[in-house]
Structure 1
């Protein structure tokens, strides 16, 4: 049986990888939390059922020969129900996790699309369970009309009470059906709650008052406060298109950016942010770019992440490829000692562990970064695919470190970058770089105001929430 072990930061990404790598008919064999995320073991349903059948055959061959009765073979439907039950349990745990998270903003088109996709998955599970139950019911009716012999030897002896071998599989099937029915009720409840939250009238009272210009800005994913700021002094006699272009120009002027190659200044730069936002990959891209331009002799890499299993292996791989030293901060070598030993390097890029604000390890990480004796610059790495609440939480978690700038990652995975732009404008946090893919070092560029606004317009047009012309975004590209 071909079994795949998949690691991911959370269950949603793990299930997406299972679907992509194995297929929609994958069976979840086990799942549990590990340091840095979750581990899921999965296999194709067909392979899993064949392996189960082979195991049963081996067990039957190894049974004592003195046993007078041969147990009735397990109905294949039992295996199918058991497999469906395992998949349903995973879906339910994922639905519960989503229910505990903050509700997504109404103006985030990409989140609505993801929710719709997951709702469809749940409906598919419900329909599949219903079909399985109907098939089992037909089998039971057929069995009552045409009962099997009491044993495999075809004895004509009859008995009013079923044998233990016949009764046990039926009890197992009924138990499964009861548990599946409970899961079905829970999933229907989750679906109804999700649909109710999306349709709640309280979510859009202010949007009904939007002007056409404000509605177009909402389609970019911008926050309410920023929209009011951009439209506060727009001349009322301007045409709709001229007002739109003037507002986009104001937006571009308000976005703070570094506007130049940040690593060209040299120094020691720490990259902070939540787990999974792309800190290590961003460091790899910047390191490769620096080596291509200046060589490897003046560069060193450092990691403070000793909490996750093999967390520093990716950074060490970059170091071997680029021929640059990689230092690991641990209980024997604190950050200050490591950085002092690298004072002769022109550029030191520091990868940090992603921690929550309340974690003891997170507090320790921040104290370590704040207490070093060397001058340290800090860049906050933000994923554009994250919701506004998560972006704000990341900023609140690290802002006490006196952040110098930020890096916006995963633009290629986001349906809107308005939330990230809103945070940068409202917190006056300059954008140093943006990344839009996994290629090293190609998919990383120096942030420019006009390009960021152009990307916001293009993203809205791509998702269908903004119907402006292509020229709306083209007018910023040349700038």
Structure 2
């Protein structure tokens, strides 16, 4: 017999593998819990029946053949004893007090799993009914050792009554099994998956979902939470994990100097961010060591805003065009301590976008690249921006338009999952005031307050706790 031993984290996955690997006619030989999940032993029904028949034939060869009367008597007595034991066990379980449905928090059976279990039960019921019909076709014999005070050969009517009694008890056993299948106590006794250990933290997961975090990040943050923690203690624990997982630069990025290119989609605030950083730098270090560069020659008057910043701050502004390539412009500005480069926002698949990426990648000077992401953009746009520019070896990112966004979760999820440090955040149009060096606790606080302000879950947040305040 071809027996398949299948290991899986839970019964649902085990049954799916049995059905996929063996087929719908599979017979479950045994199942029990093991470290890390469940073990199911299964085989095809035809193989199982052939193996059973072969076993019976081999047993007949190795032992004396019993008389027909005694063999059938023994089988009937054994079946009766087994039926009585199963009925007693089923009744004992049914009489035990059942927990309230609301208390069963680790329920592991969903609609698909119910169908799998019903499939097993129906298969067992069908085989039992066929076996009962086969036994009913033969003339019954009464075991000699059931009642010592009865004569050896009972009348035909008493034998029929005994068979009917057995059939009624077996039918009652089946009904009890079907009833137990749909009881919470039966479902909660099934193997528990790792995910079920988070069932008591569903309010915590809902709060994180309200922040706009991805499901994968939520599972990561709620993994291995201590079960004895209260909801508020668990919430603070999760927020602390959230803050620890955020990659940030943590210091004034432009203070290091160098040549920094700002890349990103159109309209995310690259030019305005450069203006804020340039104004901040001039206030601290003066204008003599700063220069601005723009590669955006595709839009009409695209470089005029940057030139306006240059005139106000008294810093030179260079334009990259068909007469002056980027490498030549940057080499001419090697004497400047800080060079901020504004780029055109384009689709990376467009010819102009491909040309611009090649230009940024081919310069002979050391160039740092910051990805500018708008927090008001949808998750798909944020992920697309990362996909378009990741090949440029991005150094960090800038999160803009926090004042226009109802959620920071999408941008923070990307920063964590892609390990892209956050250098700055911007939350307004004022230059240079509305630009802040990114800090972990501040980002988490802003994410919580943004979710609260948008009305995601008004009752879940506590304004009196410092960790929930923005800034």
- Is 1:244 paired with 2:235? yes
State the match for 1:276 in structure 2: 267
Change in CA separation of 1:475 and 1:336 when aligned onto 2, cut-off 3 Å: same
Of residues 402, 425, 433, the one that matches 1:442 is 433
Could you tell me how far 1:233 is from its partner in structure 2?
1.2
Q: Is the 8 A contact 1:267 1:376 kept in 2?
A: yes
State the match for 2:411 in structure 1: 420
Could you tell me how far 1:352 is from its partner in structure 2?
0.1
Of residues 460, 466, 471, the one that matches 1:474 is 466
Of residues 206, 210, 217, the one that matches 1:226 is 217
Could you tell me how far 1:475 is from its partner in structure 2?
2.4
Distance in 2 between residues matched to 1:393 and 1:478, nearest whole Å: 28
State the match for 2:299 in structure 1: 308
Q: Is the 8 A contact 1:256 1:431 kept in 2?
A: yes
Structure 1, residues 286-337: CA drift from partner, whole Å, max 9, x if none? Answer: 0000000000000000000000000000000000000000000000000000
Could you tell me how far 1:464 is from its partner in structure 2?
1.4
State the match for 1:453 in structure 2: 444
Q: TM-score by structure 1 length?
A: 0.56
Structure 1, residues 166-210: CA drift from partner, whole Å, max 9, x if none? Answer: xxxxxxxxxxxxxxxxxxxxxxxxxxxxxxxxxxxxxxxxxx998
Counting only pairs closer than 5 Å after superposition, residues 125-144 of structure 1 correspond to structure 2 as: none
User: Match of 1:284, SS?
Assistant: helix
User: What CA RMSD, in Å, does the superposition of the two structures yield over aligned residues?
Assistant: 1.8
Change in CA separation of 1:272 and 1:366 when aligned onto 2, cut-off 3 Å: same
Could you tell me how far 1:253 is from its partner in structure 2?
0.3
State the match for 2:341 in structure 1: 350
Specify every segment of 5 or more residues in structure 1 that has no aligned partner in the other structure, as ranges. 1-207
Specify every segment of 5 or more residues in structure 2 that has no aligned partner in the other structure, as ranges. 1-198
State the match for 1:318 in structure 2: 309
State the match for 2:289 in structure 1: 298
- Is 1:432 paired with 2:417? no
Q: Is the 8 A contact 2:291 2:336 kept in 1?
A: yes
Distance in 2 between residues matched to 1:426 and 1:469, nearest whole Å: 25
User: Match of 1:344, SS?
Assistant: coil
Distance in 1 between residues matched to 2:294 and 2:417, nearest whole Å: 31
- Is 1:288 paired with 2:279? yes
Counting only pairs closer than 5 Å after superposition, residues 50-69 of structure 1 correspond to structure 2 as: none
Counting only pairs closer than 5 Å after superposition, residues 11-410 of structure 1 correspond to structure 2 as: 211-410=202-401
Larger Rg: 2
Change in CA separation of 1:267 and 1:473 when aligned onto 2, cut-off 3 Å: farther
Distance in 2 between residues matched to 1:408 and 1:337, nearest whole Å: 30
Q: Is the 8 A contact 2:449 2:468 kept in 1?
A: no
Change in CA separation of 1:285 and 1:438 when aligned onto 2, cut-off 3 Å: same
Change in CA separation of 1:273 and 1:473 when aligned onto 2, cut-off 3 Å: farther
Distance in 1 between residues matched to 2:464 and 2:210, nearest whole Å: 14
State the match for 1:34 in structure 2: none
Aligned length: 273
Q: Is the 8 A contact 1:450 1:477 kept in 2?
A: no
Q: Is the 8 A contact 1:458 1:473 kept in 2?
A: no
Could you tell me how far 1:471 is from its partner in structure 2?
4.1
Distance in 2 between residues matched to 1:472 and 1:233, nearest whole Å: 28
Q: Is the 8 A contact 1:457 1:473 kept in 2?
A: no
State the match for 1:93 in structure 2: none
Q: TM-score by structure 2 length?
A: 0.57
